[in-house]
Structure 1
Amino acid sequence: MKLLTVLILMIGLSGCFAKERTTTGEWVGTKMPAFNLLLSDSTTYLSTQNIPAGKPVLFFYFATYCPYCRAQLEDIIKDINKFKDTHIYMVTNSPYSEVKDYMKEFKLDKYPNITMNLDYKNFFIDSFKVKGVPFMAVYNGDKKLQETFSGKVPTSDLLSNLDN
């Protein structure tokens, strides 16, 4: 039974890693793709075409079970004042019930610049070729890609790619 539990845990965490950042290379400078996400109210959709230009955007793809994602979010929240001019779109394909619990745990409703989204069509994971979580895509105020990060990264790396 212990072996089965360990095996299940290892499989679950296989997509969760804490490697150094990886860059997008040829994608840097490309416009934000158009796609829809389901907001946490489970009835409203967000179209990336409707995200206003002028302020940087951080897409944070995560899994509710991932300890590195949790640590990354804790770091961001700790420095939330430094992200005051950035809108953070949390994106996941985790089950809705887990997402609601995650939002409560981190008290995400306190942060007007953080929006929880469900990637119900897996567009984000397919478009960015996400191989693990956490994964972040940083866009400047012109909605052009600055950088992507795979794995947990220092908040300073995220902030240095924002054009606040």
Structure 2
Amino acid sequence: MNLSFLDKWRRRADPDHPLPFAGPAAGPEGGPGSGASGAGPGTGPGSGSGSGEDPGSVTELLSECELLRAQAAEAGVELDDTPRSLEALDQLQPVWRDDPEVLPWLGNDAGLYLGTVLVRTVRGAVWQVWPDGLPVVRLESGREVDVVRAGHEWADDGAPELSHVYAEVAES
């Protein structure tokens, strides 16, 4: 079976700088916060079963965000996993809103990318995958951020901006 995204993912993985992964959560049914998962298509990686998962593989797969990276590259924006790239994403023309098939996938990717930036740049931030498959970012304080929901809100409405979510989370 030819899965091109896996080839790209394997080439991108940097064994010297893996993303932190807290592992599957044993939390309440329905996930963190208000219970609204916000999970859209593609939240299956690392479904939180805990059986035989490779944490490094799960975190790298969560950081792939292939559709978002392709859309950004097409607009001349480089996604380098930094807060500055979130600001650049916020400035993109939302052409994806015209395509109801792309919108949920792009929102999911935007949330996963936001999570990737948080995990790479905020001290103590780690990925946490709930038993229902929802990936969230857990901060050192114990607060959990539903980045997928934030990504969907950004893709749907443009608000809150990804850079604002990052700034608010990084402050806490």
Compute the TM-score of the two structures, normalised by the length of structure 2. 0.27
Compute the TM-score of the two structures, normalised by the length of structure 1. 0.28
Which gives a bigger RCO, structure 1 or 2 (Cα 8 Å, sep 6+)?
A: 1
Name whichever structure is richer in strand by fraction: 1
Name whichever structure is richer in helix by fraction: 2
